[in-house]
Amino acid sequence: MRQFLTTSGHCFLLYVSSLAGFQEPDKDAKGRTVLDKSAAIFRNVLNLDGVDECTVMIFFNKQDRFEEICRDLLGNENGDGKRQIEKLLGVAPKLQIAGNKKNKPDNFDYLKDSIRNRFKEILKTHNDKKSYYMKYTQATDAQLMSTIFYAVENEIISAFFTQARYL
């Protein structure tokens, strides 16, 4: 891993995880979700040699799909969806009474934050002084992801030419 680090001290780890994977079963391990697997992979990546020198950027993708899944689960009349969300995220969904309507969730920020906090805890256990950036993105946020990949690629290419020597 150290061979990919720049000498200028500008090293980044870009990690993308799906918010929508919070209730999707992992095909490789029974009793684990895709989000649990992503968190475990993230923990393993942080253990790699040299990563402690990197700034971490985490993008929680598929925000729109996450909200759609939560809306569907909370629309369940018998309360199973609410219990499932609480079991998987460790946070009880907040409901508000809105006029004549049935209980309706106000927003899903606190549910997304429970996922964000899971990754923050992993970061803290590895190095609580490590700088990091976290952002929620949508599946359709291709422009943002493209810009980030371009910036990272440009940084790598610039560093390569800066360190190049004439023969």
pLDDT digits (tens, 9 = 90+) for 87-102: 888 877 766 544 445 5
User: For residue 79, is it left (φ>0), alpha (ψ between -120 and 50) or beta?
Assistant: left
Q: pLDDT tens digits for 125-165?
A: 877 667 788 888 876 566 776 777 777 777 777 766 666 65
Residue 165 burial class via C-beta count within 10 angstroms: exposed 0-12, middle 13-18, buried 19 and up: exposed
Give the count of alpha carbons within 13 A of 50, CB side only. Answer: 12
Binding residues for GTP: 61-64, 139
Q: What is the pLDDT of residue 41?
A: 93
CB 53 within 8 A of CB 8: no
- Whole-number percent of the chain with pLDDT over 90: 11
* Domain residue ranges of the chain, discontinuous segments joined by +: 2-63+110-163
**Cβ proximity of 57 and 148 under 8 Å:** yes
Model confidence over 35-63: pLDDT tens digits?
Answer: 999 999 999 998 888 787 788 888 888 88
CATH of 2-63+110-163, one of 3.40.50.720, 3.40.50.450, 1.10.150.120, 3.40.50.300: 3.40.50.300
Which two tokens mark 144?
């943002």
- Residue ranges of the annotated binding site are 61-64, 139
